[in-house]
Structure 1
Amino acid sequence: MDGELTTQVDGFEAVWRPTHDTSKGIEVMAVHDTGEYPVVEVVRFAPGTDLAEARQRCPRWNRLWDKVRHEFWTEVAGPPARSAASGRWAR
């Protein structure tokens, strides 16, 4: 899947996308404060900033980073393939 995705937690929205670089996986572009009275309008990350770097830079959004990682693995990477012939999960 290509393109930007968004994830929301606790009044903040992360804008991110999966990368084709398997060593990084998730590139974080920005975080928007979506609360009624925004404290921080937007935090932009340098091109190529991966999830680990974003987490290190802004650890206060740990729940947001956890949800981004979860959405990446459940929606983008998808569930493991299951073999119709054996009924077992492929590895």
Structure 2
Amino acid sequence: MSERCTEVDGWVAHWLLDHHRVRIMLVGNESETQRLFSAAVLAAAPDLAEMRERFPKLSELWDAIRREYWAEFFTAQENSRGTI
């Protein structure tokens, strides 16, 4: 699993794909030293839907992560198709 990083309006989220689920590992604001959220292990990391419920004001960040997820998903699907 490789960690991804998404940034919107100074907010940064580090996330991983876990069997087609987005798991949020860390969320912070570039202008602040304290993190808004951090998960030490993947098993404790909430998915994108849970983070959207917990922090609705960061909807633009969650939307950007969702777009990146789907872009990667469709690229992987296209690359996995065999030729006839």
Q: Same fold (TM over 0.5)?
A: yes
Aligned length: 77
> Which position in structure 1 is the counterpart of 2:7?
8
Instruction: Determine which structure has more spread, i.e. the larger CA radius of gyration.
Output: 1
More helix as a share of residues: 2
* Aligned equivalent of 2:35: 42
Comparing both structures, which one devotes a greater share of its residues to strand?
A: 2
Distance in 1 (CA, whole Å) between partners of 2:45 and 2:25 is 8
Q: Which runs of 5+ in 1 are unaligned?
A: 86-91
Separation in 2, partners of 1:4, 1:44: 16
Runs (4 or more) in structure 1 with deviation over 3 Å come to 82-85
Q: Which TM-score applies when normalising by structure 2?
A: 0.77
1:7 and 1:41 mapped to 2: Cα distance?
18
Counterpart of 2:7, as a letter, is Q
Identical aligned pairs, as a percentage? 34
* Ranges in structure 2 where 5+ consecutive residues have no aligned partner: none
SS of structure 2 residue aligned to 1:49: coil
**TM-score using structure 1 length:** 0.71
**RMSD (CA atoms):** 2.0
